[in-house]
C-alpha cells in the first residue's frame, strides 16, 4: 500500500502532529508499505504567511525510507489579496482553497496529480488550502482520501477557537473524505453533530513511543544550567493560545509569595510571545526560557520536571500530557473538552479555566506542596498513557487505511 501524506510542515520540524505522522510513516515502511510526504518549506509557523522566517530547502529527501517532497510558499502580496477575495465567494471549494489561513503552494497540486498513491492522507485543520490540494488530487485520480483533522474545539461555550477549525467549508471537506480519523470521542461526537456521517468517523488517536520519551536524566537542568529545586515545565510551542503567557503570570504570582520553584519553558515560540516575554516589566527571577530541543533533551526535561503545566486551549489530544504521564508527572491543563475526557476524577492532574493565572497558580502551589498528590496523579496519568502506545495506535491506523484501500478497489503495492 502506498500512502501519500499531505501536510503543511514535516520533519525535521518537531510538532505533535508532525512527530506522529513521522512515526506512522516509518512504521508503515518497516512493515512493507510505501510512505511519501508532500509538504512545504515552512519551519516556523509564521513562515506560512511572512517571508524572513525559518524555512527548509525546496528539495526531495528520504528519511528512514520515507520520501519527502518540499514545495515553496508564495509570498506575493497581490496574489494573496486576490486569493482572499476569491475566498469570499459562497462556494465551499473556493473557501477551502483561498480563505484564511490558506496560502499558495506552487507546484503542490500538479505534483499530487502525478502520484501513484493508493490513498491520500490530509490534515491538519485549519490549513484548508494544503488539505484541499490533497482532496482535489484524490477526486481527480479516483484515489480515496482520508483526513486526520485534529479539530480544536476550544473552551466550553466559546466558539472563538472552533470557528477557525470547523467552518462550513472545512466540514464539507471532511464530508468528502472516505474516512476521518478522530483523536478523541469528544471530537467524533462534535463532527457527528456537524453532519459528517458516523460511518466515516473512527476514533484512532496518535500514540507515543513510551520508551522514546522516558529514561531521561533527572539532574539534567542542574548539570546543564546550574539551577536546582522544584521545576514547573511548559513544553512545546510558546504562544498565547497554548497558555504560555498564563503560565508566566501564574508563576509571577507564586514568586511574589516567595515560591522557590523554577519555571522552565522549552520549545519554539511565536513572535508575539517573544515580544511579551521581552517586556522590561516582566519580573521573572526564576525563569529558564529554552529554544527548541532534541529528543534526548526532551527526555531529560521531562525527567527533571516536578509538574508539567500545559493550560492550552488549542489541543486535539495533547501529546505533551501523554509524554508527561509516561514519566509519571502530574499535569495542569486547561478546561477544554479533550482535557476533561483524559483527566477524570483528578487522575493525571488538574484542570483550570483557560487564561486564569490565579487558579493556575493555586493548582501549581497545591501540587508543589504535596508530594503524595503528585505521585498519585502521575501514576493515574501513567495508566492513561499506556493506552496510547505508538505501536498499537499505528497498527489501528494502518488497518483502517488498508480497509479504505480495499473498499476503493485500488491495487495495493
**This prediction's pTM:** 0.92
Determine the Cα–Cα distance for residues 49 and 315; give it in Å rounded to an integer. Answer: 22
Kindly state whether residues 311 and 190 are assigned to the same domain.
Answer: no
Kindly state whether residues 273 and 401 are assigned to the same domain.
Answer: no
Reduced to 3 states (helix: H, G, I; strand: E, B; else coil), residue 147 is strand
Kindly state whether residues 247 and 258 are assigned to the same domain.
Answer: yes
In a domain, 56, yes or no: yes
Domain housing 230: 210-386
Strand order in the sheet with 231-235: 287-290, 262-266, 231-235, 307-310, 331-334, 349-352
In a domain, 378, yes or no: yes
> How many domains, in total, are found in the chain?
2
| Residues 349, 343 contacting (CB under 8 angstroms) | yes
In a domain, 9, yes or no: yes
Measured in whole angstroms, how far is the alpha carbon of residue 110 from the centre of its chain?
Answer: 27
Taking residue 23's Cβ as centre, other Cβ atoms within 10 Å add up to 20
In a domain, 127, yes or no: yes
In a domain, 251, yes or no: yes
DSSP 4: E
At 410 the pLDDT is 63
What residues in the chain have per-residue pLDDT under 70?
Answer: 281-282, 410-413
pLDDT tens digits for 3-20? Answer: 999 999 999 998 889 999
In a domain, 79, yes or no: yes
In a domain, 413, yes or no: no
Kindly state whether residues 144 and 26 are assigned to the same domain.
Answer: yes
Determine the Cα–Cα distance for residues 321 and 330; give it in Å rounded to an integer. Answer: 9
Kindly state whether residues 13 and 75 are assigned to the same domain.
Answer: yes
At 81 the pLDDT is 87
For 21, the grid coordinates are 505522522
In a domain, 267, yes or no: yes
Determine the Cα–Cα distance for residues 357 and 354; give it in Å rounded to an integer. Answer: 8
Kindly state whether residues 117 and 44 are assigned to the same domain.
Answer: yes
Gyration radius of the chain's alpha carbons: 21
Kindly state whether residues 62 and 110 are assigned to the same domain.
Answer: yes
- CA-wise closest residue to 187 among 326, 352, 336: 336
pLDDT tens digits for 87-127? Answer: 888 899 999 999 989 899 999 999 999 999 999 999 999 99
Residue 341, exposed/middle/buried by CB under 10 A (0-12, 13-18, 19+)? middle
Pair type for strands 119-122 and 66-71? unpaired
At 157 the pLDDT is 85
Kindly state whether residues 230 and 197 are assigned to the same domain.
Answer: no
At 411 the pLDDT is 56
Kindly state whether residues 9 and 114 are assigned to the same domain.
Answer: yes
Q: Using omega within 30 degrees of 0 as the cis cutoff, is the peptide bond preceding 390 cis?
A: no
Determine the Cα–Cα distance for residues 97 and 54; give it in Å rounded to an integer. Answer: 24
pLDDT tens digits for 153-212? Answer: 999 888 999 999 999 999 999 999 999 999 999 999 999 999 999 999 999 999 999 999
Kindly state whether residues 197 and 85 are assigned to the same domain.
Answer: yes
At 281 the pLDDT is 66
| Residues 229, 261 contacting (CB under 8 angstroms) | yes
CATH number at residue 93: 3.40.50.2000
At 412 the pLDDT is 46
Kindly state whether residues 182 and 239 are assigned to the same domain.
Answer: no
Kindly state whether residues 30 and 170 are assigned to the same domain.
Answer: yes
226 contact partners, CB below 8 Å, separation of at least 6: none
Amino acid at each position: 500500500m502506498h500512502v501519500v501524506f499531505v501536510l503543511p510542515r514535516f520533519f525535521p520540524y518537531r510538532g505533535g502532529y508532525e512527530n506522529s505522522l513521522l512515526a506512522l510513516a516509518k512504521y508503515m515502511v518497516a512493515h512493507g508499505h510505501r510512505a511519501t510526504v508532500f509538504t512545504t518549506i515552512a519551519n516556523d509557523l509564521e513562515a506560512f504567511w511572512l517571508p524572513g522566517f525559518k524555512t527548509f530547502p525546496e528539495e526531495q529527501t528520504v528519511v528512514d525510507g520515507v520520501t519527502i517532497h518540499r514545495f515553496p510558499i508564495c509570498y506575493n502580496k497581490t496574489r494573496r489579496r486576490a486569493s482572499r477575495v476569491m475566498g469570499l465567494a459562497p462556494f465551499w471549494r473556493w473557501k477551502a482553497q483561498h480563505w484564511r489561513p490558506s496560502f499558495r503552494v506552487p507546484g503542490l497540486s500538479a505534483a499530487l496529480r502525478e502520484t501513484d498513491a493508493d490513498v491520500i492522507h490530509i490534515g491538519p485543520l485549519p490549513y484548508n488550502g494544503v488539505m484541499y490540494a490533497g482532496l482535489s488530487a484524490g477526486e481527480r485520480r479516483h484515489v480515496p482520501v482520508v483526513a486526520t483533522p485534529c479539530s480544536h474545539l476550544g473552551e466550553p461555550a466559546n466558539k472563538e477557537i472552533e470557528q477557525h477549525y470547523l467552518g462550513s467549508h472545512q466540514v464539507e471537506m471532511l464530508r468528502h473524505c472516505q474516512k476521518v480519523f478522530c483523536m478523541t470521542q469528544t471530537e467524533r461526537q462534535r463532527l457527528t453533530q456537524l453532519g459528517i456521517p458516523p460511518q466515516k468517523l473512527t476514533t484512532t488517536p496518535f500514540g507515543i513511543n513510551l520508551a522514546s520519551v522516558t529514561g531521561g536524566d533527572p539532574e539534567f537542568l542542574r548539570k546543564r544550567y546550574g539551577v536546582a529545586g522544584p521545576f514547573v515545565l511548559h513544553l512545546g510551542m510558546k504562544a498565547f493560545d497554548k497558555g504560555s503567557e498564563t503560565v508566566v503570570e501564574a508563576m509571577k504570582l507564586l514568586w511574589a509569595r516567595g515560591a522557590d520553584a523554577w519555571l522552565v519553558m522549552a520549545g519554539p515560540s511565536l513572535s508575539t510571545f517573544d515580544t511579551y516575554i521581552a517586556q522590561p516589566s516582566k519580573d521573572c527571577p526564576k525563569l529558564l526560557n529554552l529554544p527548541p530541543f532534541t529528543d534526548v533533551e526532551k527526555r531529560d526535561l521531562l525527567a527533571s520536571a516536578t509538574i508539567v503545566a500545559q493550560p492550552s486551549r488549542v489541543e486535539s489530544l495533547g501529546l505533551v500530557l501523554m509524554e508527561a504521564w509516561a514519566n509519571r508527572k502530574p499535569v495542569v491543563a486547561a478546561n477544554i473538552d479533550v482535557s476533561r475526557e483524559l483527566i477524570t476524577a483528578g487522575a493525571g492532574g488538574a484542570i483550570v479555566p483557560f487564561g486564569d493565572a490565579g487558579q493556575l497558580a493555586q493548582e501549581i502551589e497545591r501540587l508543589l506542596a504535596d508530594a503524595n498528590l503528585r505521585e498519585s496523579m502521575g501514576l493515574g496519568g501513567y495508566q492513561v498513557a499506556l493506552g496510547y502506545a505508538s505501536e498499537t495506535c499505528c497498527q489501528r491506523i494502518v488497518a483502517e487505511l488498508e480497509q479504505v484501500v480495499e473498499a476503493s478497489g485500488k491495487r495495493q503495492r
